[in-house]
A and B are shown apart, each in its own frame.
Chain A
């Protein structure tokens, strides 16, 4: 989780990612942020997030996103 938080904080140092729950719906993360987050997640966790998984449910909070990463790591 700390690795993910550091990826996110690097993008927006001023956002508290431990509490935000509407990252995508409120437009805190825009499409370009999503692109770089997914690429960083690929580098750090070695999981590939597919187009189908880029949804507000998965990206609205750091917690939801981490759950997705864990699920994908288990699948491999």
Chain B
């Protein structure tokens, strides 16, 4: 039985060694390249005594970064991707949390990496990519592999201001890739156009099916997502037939009437997620690529990638919401009410192999939502409480209703409004702050009391938070509205927007 994700690669490289696996504008790796380079990276790690521990990967999105991920797991370690877009303060929090002893970076980011407060070893990819391969040692490492060992840690927004490291194991990734591939019908002819960053679990959809089937993944240049016509032309040039994108990337194309000029003519599979796809935009897509199959995906990082899917096959009215559908095979979705009883509407809870290991080095946060299944008192069984409220509609399809807390989805990113507030409150000249989300205009709005100007606030905040978490509007208030029990009155703040 397969117990390691790289078993996929071992089979595929025998079948199609010279086929293109991963490519961007500067690098094109065949499966033979991916096989050789990841084993070189792994040999360097093994030779230097890194084993069963986190390896921080700080590289630009590239085929090189992907083989570094694979090299890390080949060495029996697990990868922790960080990105140049992440502000210094956030990187520092991540380094403190995972306590890695080694960072692998690329040449372009070496200077940035040297500025980290980090006492471990820093090595450049180009120094290790051709390390002599230690076949025997790598075979031994693989022999000892356990599929419940970690494969990666990715960091997600935390309401207390400290990002949480979601740690997944081989088995949950294997389970996800098998179920997802079946649902979306990937095969060796699949040509992926990757949009999502490599430092989230969203990229699992392209990374692993590529080695499973011997498919091809193009890493689309980031700047094309500001230029819809050029983006679609690129997709046609590369013959991209499959995309798994956040909704905002898809609507960016359709909303500007790009299809009047050019349509993605090879596209056959469009999977989308992270947000609600407005039905009006969905119809523009459906009309532009009528042969394509459209599938809505839903799932939190804690459930390894996605855990529910919905092929959009029936007609939807503009005011209807596309359901999140049904759980993947081997996953159960339980809707639990306040009394932990199964209900028609309740908190979406995930049960099965897809539940990740928990938050790395954070037992407190882990125990809040990775909990014993309340319906099972007979043996230990962990379920994940998503904090999302869902219900089943009259067709038995799952529908997303709302959040229990102040977590939002903004431009495909999952954000705790509390994390923004904590970081604003840390700045000099700020007394207090309250953040709300304008769902109509898709904007994060910050209200604050203090002496600092909005311009200064925005500038300072960019040093602490990733770009997608920076509020879209700043409003300075004389005083903050409070509720009767002394909490910031978010409803009053929202009313100020009208």
A10 within 8 A of B: yes
**Chain A 48-61 interface mask (CB, 8 Å, partner B; 1/0):** 01111011100100
**Which of A11, A14, A35 meets B462, CB within 8 Å?**
A14
Residues of chain A within 8 A of B462, CB atoms compared? 14
Q: Are B443 and A36 in contact (CB under 8 A)?
A: yes
| With A12-B458, A14-B455, A32-B468: A50-B257 Cβ-Cβ less than 8 Å | yes
Residues of chain B within 8 A of A50, CB atoms compared? 256-257, 260-261
A34 within 8 A of B: yes
What's the nearest-Cβ distance from chain A to residue B276, in Å?
16
Q: Are B227 and A54 in contact (CB under 8 A)?
A: yes
What's the nearest-Cβ distance from chain B to residue A11, in Å?
6
**Chain A 23-34 interface mask (CB, 8 Å, partner B; 1/0):** 010010111101
Q: Are A51 and B256 in contact (CB under 8 A)?
A: yes
What's the nearest-Cβ distance from chain B to residue A7, in Å?
11
Q: Are A31 and B226 in contact (CB under 8 A)?
A: yes
Name the residue on A nearest B412 (C-beta): A32
CA of A54 to CA of B473 in the docked complex: distance in angstroms? Answer: 23
Q: Are B257 and A13 in contact (CB under 8 A)?
A: no
What's the nearest-Cβ distance from chain A to residue B262, in Å?
8
Which B residues, 408 to 458, have Cβ-Cβ distances below 8 Å to chain A? Answer: 411, 441-443, 453-458
**Which of A13, A14, A32, A51 meets B411, CB within 8 Å?**
A32
Q: Are A27 and B248 in contact (CB under 8 A)?
A: no
B252 within 8 A of A: yes
CA of A60 to CA of B256 in the docked complex: distance in angstroms? Answer: 19
A5 within 8 A of B: no
**Chain B 210-228 interface mask (CB, 8 Å, partner A; 1/0):** 0000000000000101111
**Chain B 239-255 interface mask (CB, 8 Å, partner A; 1/0):** 00000000011011101
Residues of chain B within 8 A of A55, CB atoms compared? 227
Residues of chain B within 8 A of A49, CB atoms compared? 256
Name the residue on A nearest B474 (C-beta): A13
B341 within 8 A of A: no
Residues of chain A within 8 A of B442, CB atoms compared? 36
Residues of chain B within 8 A of A30, CB atoms compared? 225-226, 467
Name the residue on B nearest A33 (C-beta): B226
CA of A61 to CA of B481 in the docked complex: distance in angstroms? Answer: 38
CA of A50 to CA of B251 in the docked complex: distance in angstroms? Answer: 14
Q: Are A54 and B229 in contact (CB under 8 A)?
A: yes
| With A31-B252, A50-B257: A13-B229 Cβ-Cβ less than 8 Å | no
Residues of chain B within 8 A of A29, CB atoms compared? 226
Q: Are B256 and A10 in contact (CB under 8 A)?
A: no
| With A35-B252, A50-B256, A54-B226: A14-B472 Cβ-Cβ less than 8 Å | no
Q: Are A32 and B248 in contact (CB under 8 A)?
A: yes
A38 within 8 A of B: yes
Q: Are B248 and A52 in contact (CB under 8 A)?
A: no
CA of A13 to CA of B470 in the docked complex: distance in angstroms? Answer: 11
**Which of B251, B261, B473 meets A51, CB within 8 Å?**
B261
B459 within 8 A of A: yes
B361 within 8 A of A: no
Q: Are A38 and B467 in contact (CB under 8 A)?
A: no
Of A13, A36, A39, A56, which is in contact with the most chain B CB atoms at under 10 Å from its CB?
A: A13
Q: Are B226 and A14 in contact (CB under 8 A)?
A: no
Q: Are B454 and A13 in contact (CB under 8 A)?
A: yes
**Which of A11, A27, A36, A38 meets B256, CB within 8 Å?**
A38
What's the nearest-Cβ distance from chain A to residue B215, in Å?
26
Q: Are B257 and A14 in contact (CB under 8 A)?
A: no
B258 within 8 A of A: yes
CA of A32 to CA of B258 in the docked complex: distance in angstroms? Answer: 16
CA of A73 to CA of B263 in the docked complex: distance in angstroms? Answer: 28
Which B residues, 101 to 136, have Cβ-Cβ distances below 8 Å to chain A? Answer: none
CA of A76 to CA of B407 in the docked complex: distance in angstroms? Answer: 43
Q: Are A34 and B226 in contact (CB under 8 A)?
A: yes
Residues of chain A within 8 A of B261, CB atoms compared? 50-52
What are 26 A-B interface contacts by the 8 Å CB criterion?
Answer: A11-B472, A12-B458, A13-B453, A14-B459, A14-B462, A24-B226, A29-B226, A31-B225, A31-B226, A31-B252, A32-B468, A34-B226, A34-B252, A36-B442, A38-B256, A39-B441, A50-B257, A50-B261, A51-B256, A51-B257, A52-B229, A52-B261, A54-B226, A54-B229, A54-B256, A56-B227
Could you list 10 further interchain pairs (A-B, Cβ under 8 angstroms) beyond the known A13-B453, A13-B457, A51-B257?
A10-B472, A13-B458, A24-B223, A27-B223, A30-B467, A36-B441, A51-B229, A51-B258, A54-B229, A55-B227
Q: Name the 3 nearest CB pairs between A and B, nearest first.
A: A51-B258, A14-B459, A51-B256
